Chain A
Amino acid sequence: MNEHDTGRLRAYLDGESSPEARAAVAAHIDRCARCADELRLLESRAGAVDAGLSHVDEYAPDPQAALARFHAHRAEAPEPARLSVANLLRSIDEMKRNALSPRWRPAMIGLTALLVVALLFTIAPVRNAAADFLGLFRISKFAVIPLDQAQMDRLGQLAQQAEGTFGDPQVLREEGPEQPVSDAAQASALAGFAVRMPSRLPESAVLQSFTAQRGPALRVEMDRAMVEAFMQAAGVSPAGLPQTEKLVADIDVATGVSLKYRVGSGRLEFSQVPSPQVNVPEGIDPVALAETGFMFLGMPQEDARRLATSIDWTSTLVVPLPANAAEAREVTVDGVTGLLLEERGGDRGDTALLWEKNGILHFAAGHNVDQKLLIDAADSLQ
């Protein structure tokens, strides 16, 4: 270390040096006039700054009155249009519950955590060339990141910490009630897109419910400094964040439609929802963020970078999948490439399908139903 080090002198002044450093500085200033002068300058400057900042110290507000005001204000407005992240996760999860078996719920919770936790993993980013200030994220493909239990736990913890750190997202629009609909025309009118029905179903299939539900619109607002601190605390170095002070992400889930059938002792369920729209600040670097995210999950940097670079973040929804509970493979469904999720070692034949067609996300799930039958029914949507 440079012995004429200003920082060392400054720490010495505050008595914040280690005993050894303190002795070294004391010895040094005895024989170095330049540093002795510097120390005097630092001392007078520190004193002047301290005096300047002390101007408001004599103002003594009344903490009791402030606390009373705090509670009164909270009582007046008891969390009007605010949801906790946990509730948000639950509500988005609820919307998708028809699509995925409850056994895979953790995967979906992880997934929605991604939506919320400042896009640490980033979902499906598509930069809309027309939008100058916002990147527009839309989903058209899926990629599976298999996660072990420890990694799933880390994700869950991360979501909890994020909730503690960033507080609640602002609800711009509440989730709507589940509305029963009588046919595809009525569902389409409510949802604003052409809702499709399966045209091939087993004879024993009985329609149990047909509903439409409007999703919530949420805004997540964070200080960049806090996101950075949060990432640091999670053990990863901040990267990929835009240079703005505030990070604002808007998540808008449009009206979705769900169909449930009973098939003998099993169930078939279909959900359709326009790809949720997520607006994120310009300057988000999804590759760097994803690399950070993968490293958070314990991947060596080299591998994390390779994987982050290999994914087309402009259009891919990353599904974190508990590897011990489920496996995934690509299948052709509804004329496009979709993702088939199968319960690992399950005996009840739980299967789920995810695909995107014409801007609409589709989920189909089968419980205790032959897998071929599920795919066949999904293929027959019209």
Chain B
Amino acid sequence: MVNFAAARSQPVPYEQTVSGDFDALFLAHYVAVFRLAYRLAGTREEAEDLAQETFARLHASPRIWTAEPGALKGWLYRVVTNLAYNAARTSGRRRRREDVVFAEAARRTAPDPADVAEEAERRESVRAALLRLPERQAQLLLLRHAGLSYRELAEALNVAPGSIGTLLARAEAAFERSYRAGGEL
């Protein structure tokens, strides 16, 4: 959850927030946002589009720019995982895993095509396992992996800080089951 109170306490009129501020935020967070998107998206191109959309939303929300860093990260990560999860689940992008693996293998040149295919396959298994989880569990795992503290997680996902340990243990167990159900491991 975004800390609006914190964002409000240092109001910066939109005209004064030079675009340099936004650019700095973009550069600082792009890689993390892209990777979050990529774990749920089928391809790099989709992940790039999702990251762009996330920053378009940030651009439209100048008040978030001045939120404290943890809250800003929480906001960005929540938005991108939310977008990516929904895109992957709803809009017919749930293509067959073979297609994704093939597309990824085809677009990358590597010394050993077998390695690339294997790696793409592994990535696809993780993605499929995440998408079989409820969104909140997938989000929790991704945001934790992206380095949010328990307090930041609690804020981003709007739950009590004391419950993160329990939720995380549950989500990890669910992920393991989901991954196994996909025929891997």
Contact = CB atoms under 8 A, between A and B. Distances in A.
A38 to B, nearest CB: 9
Given A66-B48, A66-B52, A233 B61 contact: no
B102 interface: no
A9 interface: yes
Nearest to B41: A56
Contact of B82 (A55, A164, A225): A225
Interface string B86-102: 10001000000000000
A232 B61 contact: no
Interface string A50-75: 10111111011101101101100110
B126 A64 contact: no
Interface string B10-29: 00000000000001001100
Given A49-B145, A165-B64, A233-B5, 20 more contacts: A7-B167, A7-B169, A9-B165, A14-B168, A45-B172, A52-B179, A54-B145, A56-B123, A59-B44, A67-B23, A69-B52, A70-B55, A74-B56, A74-B59, A164-B64, A225-B82, A228-B158, A232-B158, A233-B3, A233-B4
A58 to B, nearest CB: 9
B114 interface: no
A59 B33 CA distance: 12
A161 interface: yes
Contact of B165 (A16, A52, A168, A245): A16
Nearest to A56: B38
B2 interface: yes
Given A7-B165, A63-B30, A246-B86, A161 B4 contact: yes
Q: How large is the interface on B (under 10, 10 to 19, 20 to 34, 35 or more residues)?
A: 35 or more
Contacts of B106: none
A94 interface: no
Interface string B49-66: 001100111011111100
B145 A53 contact: yes
Nearest to B38: A56
Given A16-B150, A46-B172, A164-B64, A245 B90 contact: yes
B46 interface: no
Nearest to B63: A164
Contacts of B30: 61, 63, 66-67
Interface in B69-121: 78-79, 82, 86, 90, 119
A49 B164 contact: no
Contacts of A167: 57, 60-61
Contact of B34 (A66, A165, A232): A66
A229 interface: yes
A50 B3 contact: no
B23 A56 contact: no
A186 interface: no
A342 to B, nearest CB: 35
A67 B27 CA distance: 7
Contact of A42 (B1, B38, B61, B169): B169
Interface residues of A, number: 50
Contact of A232 (B1, B55, B60, B122): B1
B181 interface: no
A56 B35 contact: yes
Interface of A: 5-12, 14, 16, 42, 45-46, 48-50, 52-57, 59-61, 63-64, 66-67, 69-70, 73-74, 157, 160-161, 164-165, 167-168, 223, 225-226, 228-229, 232-234, 245-246
Contacts of B57: 167
Nearest to A16: B150
A240 to B, nearest CB: 17
Question: Residue among A50, A55, A59, A246 with the most chain B CB within 10 A?
Answer: A55
B30 to A, nearest CB: 4
Contacts of B3: 233
Contact of B169 (A10, A48, A161, A234): A10
B11 to A, nearest CB: 10
Given A7-B163, A229-B2, A53 B142 contact: yes
30 contacts: A7-B162, A7-B163, A9-B169, A10-B169, A12-B165, A16-B164, A42-B172, A45-B176, A49-B172, A52-B126, A52-B129, A53-B39, A53-B142, A55-B126, A61-B30, A61-B34, A63-B26, A66-B48, A67-B23, A67-B26, A70-B52, A74-B59, A160-B63, A164-B62, A164-B63, A165-B2, A167-B60, A223-B82, A229-B1, A245-B90
A46 B158 CA distance: 22
A165 B166 contact: no
Interface string B114-143: 000001001100100100000100000110
Contacts of B64: 164-165
A100 to B, nearest CB: 28
B150 to A, nearest CB: 4
B102 to A, nearest CB: 17
Contacts of B55: 70
Contacts of A54: 145
